[in-house]
Amino acid sequence: MASRPLRTTPGIGLFAVFVFVLLAMPKLNIRLGPVPVYLIDLLILALILKALNLPAVRRRRMFSATLKTILFLALASEVIGVLTFDTLRDSLYMSIRTCLAFSVFFITGLMVRTPQDVSVILRAAVLGLLVTASLMILSSLPMTRPVVVDMVFSNSFLEPAAEGVGAQYGAGDSGVRGRTLVGVSILGASFINAAWPFAALLLRWPWQLGPLWRSLTLAACLLAPMGVVMSYSRGPILGSLLILLTVLFCGYKYVRRGILLPIAVSTSVILAVGISSQLFFFDRLTNRSQAILENPFQDERESERILAYIEPFQHLAEQPQFLVLGEGITVRYAETWVLPEQAGQATHATFAMAYYSYGMLAAILYGSLMLRALLVTGRLAKRKGSFTGVLSQSLLLSAVALLPWVAFGHAPVSTPRGAMLFFLVIGLISSLTNFSEAPRPVKTVKRRPHAQHRAPAFR
């Protein structure tokens, strides 16, 4: 019995373009006077219009109530910020971008409905991963850095801080922390970690996939761990280690080839060249790791990561109104006459940033959202013989990779592109309920060449 052809949801191609731009060049923009207009925002607006014409999803969306609550608290906090700091124009602009970032979660649940939809998204993620990982590596190595800076990072429509990047990433004889069009090293490497499990899944995609895409996917998987390493950021490297440990302990066969093989290749290359080689910058990892172990409170870069979980509670005792609402995120970017409450405070964590921006309730909801995402994907990843189980393996690894970023970084709250990535992963996890009635591939009795398999069975 032949299985039915897989169909895609209308608009999934546009959604794939959004995924690629998010992972490769989310700061692509044109300026209308003093206001930058980002391509990714326009793509989200177009997706919203497209999603309005799609039939509603019958099943209840996971996490939707939590997302709506956080969004309400975020917008209400921006109103508090306007009344406190008189930042109406800036707050309005940031509120619009915040709404667009949150809408990524809801759009994802409406757009991703079939395995073929997932296939299209995975290919877009592979292309985005190739761009970001390649730029991280090329901007780190001394022999390629000047060319990449001149050809890529000097373009203000790709990188708004082009002048600063050019001055910082000049020629040199040794490796430095890489940079991408996503942003600084820690942000770019976190995006690489989140997309890597998607490429690992596509490498073992059970439906037909051409040799070109297999090659591109393998290249993306091989570049991913090296790109993370050349960020020389401890959080993303910890995220990669968590991916590795999860695969080793859980043995997820649909993603482990795309994880274990690249790590083995990257380790071999680094050992062959030599850890002490000038091509690398491992001294930074050694020095920063030593600093946090010996005296973490001596350096602000280390103490912030600890105080981010202590100071908010001390501040809440003095300012109990922060239990419900914060002062908004706009105060981080706008010039104000009144000193913000978060000024001089440790905010190097999503928890702390969410607290000062949206209040303690929102900060707790962010943490519960991350925990529930891990529990849901961990439970569903155990399902055998189903597409939901296969996809959950990849999404669990993405969520695991985001843990250090959420724990020790503030980008999921402080930057729209960081929030977009965070809500994309959460949205994909919530869309797992869309596949409970998806047609399961029929087992083949007779062995045939791979190219003839329209829908091989999950094994």
The first and second tokens of residue 410, run together, are: 């503030």
Angstrom distance (rounded) from CA 72 to CA 66: 10
Output the pLDDT for position 34.
81
Long-range contacts of 17-21 (CB under 8 A, 24+ apart): 17/43, 17/124, 18/43, 18/44, 18/47, 19/121, 19/124, 19/125, 19/128, 19/424, 20/124, 20/125, 20/127, 20/128, 21/128
Read off the pTM: 0.92
Query: pLDDT digit string (tens) for 393-435?
Result: 999 999 999 999 999 999 999 999 999 999 999 999 999 988 8
Closest residue by Cα to residue 358 from 333, 325, 334, 315: 325
The Cα 181–Cα 160 span in angstroms is 10
Which tens digit of pLDDT belongs to each residue from 220-261? 999 999 999 999 999 999 999 999 999 999 988 889 999 999
Q: What percent of the chain has pLDDT over 90?
A: 67
Query: Looking at the predicted structure, is the pLDDT value of residue 453 above 50?
Result: no
Longest dimension (CA), the chain: 75
The predicted model gives 388-392 an average pLDDT of: 93
How many Cα neighbours within 13 Å face the side chain of 183? 14
